[in-house]
Amino acid sequence: RSRGSRAVTAKGLRAATSPRRGRLAPRGSRSQHRGGGRRHPRADWFRQALSKKPKRILESSESPSSDVSQPSSQDDTPRLGLSSTSSPTPQPTHVGASGSGRWSKDYDVCVCHSEEDLAAAQELVSYLEGSAASLRCFLQLRDATPGGAIVSELCQALSSSHCRVLLITPGFLQDPWCKYQMLQALTEAPGAEGRTIPLMSGLTRAAYPAELRFMYFVDGRGPDGGFRQVKEAVMRYLQTIS
């Protein structure tokens, strides 16, 4: 071989076997060199950061729960707790059948009349409802439940009213339903003075029903048809229960 080729071969052999470069060193020697060499400062800082991170999480988890539940400022809306449930808002009281005195019933007056006396009954109801006392009146054709049974509607009207005004006329005496209402009113409250108020119109004293002979009646032959006396009788009874 020539002198030049010998020099290249010798140079390559020295580079391959040189311990300074370590290219031909085995894998085991590489790992030993990295493990046994000097650590990089960034690696140490990263390991310290990892070792401190769990400690911070542990400290935050050990903090008392009362600090978390407190509001951050006075403007924050307080949360609902036991204090809000211990003092509930009182429910409003409704005026009706559950009240007392006058409001224990739905009506103040139930006007019992025949069909042919509907105009006179409406006039009486308008007078009572338009007065200063604003009496609550039950008028059968106006306030009865459509489709309801006549017997049950009549009984319900009597039991839901404080007073009963019997508009006694010739048509009243001929109407079986009016006579039923009269007997029902006397049966429900036989000893309650002032609850049943007879208003007789167009009849003589001799035609006054025998079932009502033990109580006075209002004479409807006066200028106002006896409406003022009926209102005063109802007001007197309402004052006794108020």
CA distance 179 to 173: 7
Is residue 200 within 8 A of residue 217, CB to CB? The reply is: yes
- Single out the residue of 187, 241, 180, 190 nearest to residue 215, CA to CA: 190
Q: What is the pLDDT, as a whole number, of residue 22?
A: 44
Specify the pTM.
0.59
Confidence of residue 147 (pLDDT cuts 50, 70, 90): very high
Handedness of CA 96, 139, 234, 163 (dihedral sign): negative
Residues 6+ apart with CB under 8 A from 98: none
Q: What is the pLDDT, as a whole number, of residue 193?
A: 78
List the CATH code of the domain at 102-241. Answer: 3.40.50.10140
Is the per-residue pLDDT at 68 higher than 80?
A: no
Is the per-residue pLDDT at 6 higher than 70?
A: no
End-to-end Cα spacing for the chain: 142
Strand ranges inside the chain, DSSP E = 107-112, 137-139, 161-168, 196-200, 218-219
